[in-house]
Homo-oligomer: A and B are copies of this chain.
Amino acid sequence: MHADPGVIFAELRAFERSAALKGAIDLELFTHIDDGSTTPQEIAGKTGASPRGVRILCDFLTVTGHLTKFGESYGLTMNSQILLSKRSPSYLGSISDFLAGDQQHAALWQVAAAVRKGGSVSEEALTPDSPMWSVFARAMAPMIRVFAAAAIPRVLSGEAAADVPMKVLDIAAGHGLWGITLLQQNPSAEVTGQDWPTVLEVARENAQKAGVADRYHILPGSAFEVDFGIGWDLILEPNFAHHVDQATNIKLFRKIASSLKSGGRIALIDFIPNDDRVSPPLAAGFALTMLTATPQGDVYTFAEYEHMLGEAGFHDAKLVELGPMPQRLITAVA
C-alpha cells in the first residue's frame, strides 16, 4: 500500500515536540548547559530536577535537533546557543510563555469544537481586552524587536526623508516595539501608543530602555472606544486586524481614516495569505490560531484588505513583502 502511517503518527504526536521545548525553556536547560553543566547529574543539580528526567528530556531534544550529545554530555546547537540561552543577547525563549502558554494551548487544542461553533470555545479567548495581552507584550518582545527592525524602514520608505517630523499613533501597541523602533529610526518622530493601561506599562519600560521615552506618549483604553484625536501623519496597526471580523475592521479603519491628516497613511502589518488562502504556509495557517483563540478572527487576503480599506475611505493600498518575517505590510492613504 502506498501510504505511510508514520506521517499520521508523527503529526498526532507533534505536540510532544512543543511540550519538550517548552519544558526545557521553563527549566532553563539551555542556559545551564551554556554555563558548563553538561551531564544529567550536573544539570539536575542546577535545576533541582531528577537526573533521570533531565537525561530523558536531553535525549529527546537531541533527537529533535536542539541539543548535541557526546558520551554522557550534552551541548548546544548554534540555534539553541543564540536563541535559547539566557546568556545570549538574542535570547527569545520567553516567546514560549505566549506561543505555548497554557491559555493559548488550551484554546488551540479544541479544534473540533471551534470548527463546530465557528469560533473559539475557550473561556479565555483572545478578545481585545484579554489579560493575556500583558503576557503577550512581555513574552513576544524579543522576537518582535527583530521583526520591527526589519519592517519599520519599509513602513517609513513612503516618507520624504528619514528624519521628517511626524506624529504617529500605534494601535494596540502592546510591547510598543513597532513605535519604539520607528522613534529610533526617525529622531524627529513622536509616537503615541494606545492599549490597555497594564499593557502600556510594558511599552513604557521598553521605551525607557531604548532611550526614547521623551518622545513616547500613551493613550490608554480600547481601540474601539478611546478617542484617537486628529492630525496623525501615520497610524500603525500591527498584528491586530486578524483578531476581528471584516465588519469590525471596516469600522476601525473608518475611525482611523477620520483621525489621520489628509494624505496621512495607515500601515497594517499582518499575516496576509495569497488568494488561494493556503500559501504562504505561516500566514495561511495562522487562520486556525484565530479560529480557535478568538470569537471572529481570521486572516485576510490583500484583496479583502483592499476592499475593507476602500469601504473606510482609503485609497492607493499597497502590499509590501517583509521577508524573512511571515507578516506582510499594507499601506493606504486617507
Contacts and interface: CB of A to CB of B under 8 A. Distances in A.
Interface centre among A11, A53, A115 (most CB of B within 10 A): A115
A278 B50 contact: no
Contacts of A160: none
Contact of A50 (B20, B115, B277): B115
B8 A92 contact: yes
Contact of A82 (B1, B14, B82, B116): B1
Contact of A12 (B11, B22, B50): B22
Nearest to A273: B59
A69 interface: yes
Chain A interface SS verdict (over half): helix
Q: Which of A17, A27, A114 has the most CB of B within 10 A?
A: A17
Contact of A15 (B14, B90, B119, B285): B14
Chain A interface residue number, banded: 35 or more
B23 A143 contact: no
Given A3-B90, A63-B281, A298 B56 contact: yes
B117 A50 contact: yes
A14 B17 contact: yes
A49 B3 CA distance: 29
Contacts of A118: 49-53
A84 B11 CA distance: 13
B53 A13 contact: no
Contact of A99 (B3, B13, B53): B13
A15 B12 contact: no
Interface stretch (A104-112, A125-133, A177-185, A228-236): A104-112
Interface string A1-25: 1111111110111111111111110
Interface of A: 1-9, 11-24, 26-27, 47-57, 59-60, 62-64, 66, 69, 78-79, 82-84, 90, 92, 95-96, 99-100, 105, 108-112, 114-119, 143, 146, 276-279, 281, 284-285, 287-292, 298, 324, 326
